[in-house]
Structure 1
């Protein structure tokens, strides 16, 4: 019963049966109406003829004793008729029946007047032998020899005997007729609705079959439903919506695969970045341990310490990147003096730059007030300057300055180092890994931990970045600043 076909079939069958019963009742009423109309039309002048051929009635006599025998003769000729005489007020006077059969002793004159006036047939009048039902009739006024109105000759068409025989015949034939009719309609309804419901539910069955097939299909394929649901606009729309969802699911699946591949490649590069200082650290320590005590040089320990610091910095950056991707860091925007941040940055990197033979030049006015998160901005500049120191050769220059273009303030970090390739520049401009948009088989660029952190932090601060870089000539980073 949970299947749509079964529920529709059962509902439709019940509706058809109810409609059949209603139709049957309507046909019965219509048949009875037509029968009464025909019978009354055929016997329209019956009472008038009876009054004309009977000498007593033609003289306007309405008494019971005089007419009872005449009524008996008339009813022998027409067993379905019941004959009465009425006085001018409609009271029953004469009839041929036992007195206990008369249930009403007065007939409604309004129906008699309507009949005499030629009203639309059928006209139902009072049945003296019933307290509830009304029947068709024929009536004729009775007039005495002196021209006085003495009453009416009132003839019921289809009297009690007629009803008894009709009820007997109906009791024998009605069950057969009902059984045959209902059986025919049930079989007809079954065949019709099986065909119709099969036709209308065929698109749903196709849709269910296609979805079952897609359930076992691998996500690598372009999943889509075939365009073969033409039976119903709703089913067609549903298939289009499902295809749209499948397309989005496939795109998300491909995006997840690209992100997984990007993380895999990132880990490979990260392992290389970690391996270099770790190898250097172990190498210097081993060299120092293998050397005779009198030949052990302090420079080996210093080199090993520098490698350890590089390793520690990479691990810290890796933890920071993980915190950024997990949403554990949020921006706290405040109005700050950017020169104070740059002074701290200069104190941090000046000794290292001097040791590497690289010139650091920080040129920002004292009045530059910006709205940003000072801690996050400091991390961005730390990573950019650290990356520049790493790839700028001895004798190079790293410059940090502010400038205004079209009423927009920018902070520039410029170096004369190794530079970046075009695909690396485009990757850095993306604010998050989820916004990357590469072809499925295209290799994702790797930025290193520092630049990956820069990209995430710029996304938190909602800052644009403009990058110009040429391999072998250096890079120029422009960070948009909010001054109001």
Structure 2
């Protein structure tokens, strides 16, 4: 019973059988009700006629022995009738039957009164020969010669003999009826099952067939089910949800494929970045070892040390990138002074810039307080300035400045006149646009860039920053980061502290 076919067949059969039983019971009740109504209506005046034509009954006699003979004569004319005389309280007085057949000696006279008054039929009254079944009846008052009521003539319509013959005939007809009913209902259930099978399972069969065909296709082919499916709305909804799921799976598969390709390219680039300082380190150390002791120069060790520091820096960045991709680093937003951030940044890179005679011009002309994670933003700017110093020639210039656009957006610009970036590098970084990103940082494909810019990519994603990039090989690069600034009320509260920061910065610059 696990298949849809068998369940439909079982359900249809049970429904038909239950419906048939209910209809049969209703029909039995309806037939009995109609039969009782007709018979009682036809014999409504029966008791009155009997009382009128019988001399004893017409005189109001209720207990004379001669009545039994009269009752016997009446029952020969109508063997399905049972005749009784009752006193005014409903007590049974005379009847034509063995005494042991009488189960009740008292008849409800209220029903007799209701009947005589012309109540709507059928009306069931007490059957003296039964303790649990009422029957239709006819009744009349018995009046003596002085005009006094002496009792009632009470006639049961369809008595004990009638019930016996009806039971025999009913059992015979019931067997035939149930046999015919089972055959008809079984045939109807099978027919209904075939119709349901054709109507409901045909769309499912087509859906199963289409899904089996899709199994032979590749996910990156843009899988979808063909057309609409006739039948219930649930099947159409099911096909729609399957198409949605297939589209999502196909998109994820394509994203994973691109991620694997870009990760492979990134690893190749990373291996080159690691190989360069490692080769330099190994080469200078080997050279130093091969030279005679009196010809060994500290310059070789210093160059090797710088290569080792560079290698250590790359490995540290690689660990940081892995932590970002695994979600181990989260942003903690707070209000902070942008001027303070730029001041700390300038102090960090001033020695390196001075060694290459590169001018650093970091300023916040708008005295802004921004809402961000200061540590993550500082790491973003550190990586951008680090790359800028590395690729900017001597006597070059690196500028950081703030800009408020016409639509009141705050932008932080990082500008250098270094070697610039190539098209594939620009394309990788432009994917950072926060408004266009639809996958999480864990699923974002790695750019074909150095580790520093890959870290920038992940950090900006955590900060929710939009980045715009303009760069040309040989002419330099310009990075614009959109930052979130405080509202006007919050700005007023921060003015005093910002002025103090600027005064401190001017003092340090003068020194």
Is the pair's TM-score, using the shorter chain for normalization, greater than 0.5?
yes
For 2:344, which of 340, 346, 353 is the aligned residue?
340
Q: Quick one: distance in 1 between partners of 2:366 and 2:169?
A: 115
Aligned twin of 2:34: 34
Aligned twin of 1:46: 46
Unmatched 5+ residue regions in structure 1? none
Residue 124 of structure 1 and its aligned partner are, at CA, apart by 1.8
State how 1:443-462 maps to structure 2 within 5 Å: 446-462=448-464
Q: Quick one: distance in 1 between partners of 2:299 and 2:344?
A: 36
- Structure 2 residue matching 1:122: 3-state secondary structure: coil
Aligned twin of 2:70: 70
Q: Quick one: distance in 2 between partners of 1:334 and 1:191?
A: 76
Distance 1:130 1:306, change over 3 A: closer
CA contact (8 A) 1:108 1:126 kept: yes
CA contact (8 A) 2:346 2:360 kept: no
Distance 1:22 1:393, change over 3 A: same
Q: Is 1:361 paired with 2:377?
A: no
Distance 1:350 1:473, change over 3 A: same
Distance 1:366 1:47, change over 3 A: closer
Aligned twin of 1:236: 236
Number of aligned residues:
474
Unmatched 5+ residue regions in structure 2? 440-444, 487-511
Residue 320 of structure 1 and its aligned partner are, at CA, apart by 3.0
CA contact (8 A) 1:463 1:480 kept: yes
Residue 481 of structure 1 and its aligned partner are, at CA, apart by 5.2
CA contact (8 A) 1:85 1:92 kept: yes
CA contact (8 A) 2:434 2:464 kept: no
Q: Quick one: distance in 2 between partners of 1:460 and 1:239?
A: 37
Aligned twin of 1:23: 23
Aligned twin of 1:122: 122
For 2:467, which of 443, 465, 468 is the aligned residue?
465
Q: Quick one: distance in 2 between partners of 1:426 and 1:433?
A: 14
| 1:113-169 alpha-carbon deviations (Å, 9 max, x no partner) | 333333222222222222332222223334445554444333222111122222233
Residue 229 of structure 1 and its aligned partner are, at CA, apart by 3.0
CA contact (8 A) 2:403 2:413 kept: no
Q: Quick one: distance in 2 between partners of 1:385 and 1:273?
A: 18
Aligned twin of 2:387: 387
CA contact (8 A) 1:429 1:455 kept: no
Q: Quick one: distance in 2 between partners of 1:393 and 1:67?
A: 143
Distance 1:61 1:409, change over 3 A: closer
Q: Quick one: distance in 2 between partners of 1:403 and 1:107?
A: 110
Q: Quick one: distance in 1 between partners of 2:410 and 2:165?
A: 110
Residue 262 of structure 1 and its aligned partner are, at CA, apart by 1.3
Superposition RMSD on alpha carbons, in Å?
3.8
- Structure 1 residue matching 2:344: 3-state secondary structure: helix
Distance 1:54 1:251, change over 3 A: same
TM-score (norm 2): 0.78
- Structure 2 residue matching 1:128: 3-state secondary structure: coil
| 1:3-44 alpha-carbon deviations (Å, 9 max, x no partner) | 344345434433443333332222111111111122222323
Distance 1:238 1:80, change over 3 A: same
Q: Quick one: distance in 1 between partners of 2:6 and 2:310?
A: 73
TM-score (norm 1): 0.82
- Structure 2 residue matching 1:22: 3-state secondary structure: helix
Distance 1:409 1:71, change over 3 A: closer
Residue 451 of structure 1 and its aligned partner are, at CA, apart by 1.8
CA contact (8 A) 1:137 1:157 kept: yes
Q: Is 1:416 paired with 2:417?
A: yes
Q: Is 1:268 paired with 2:268?
A: yes
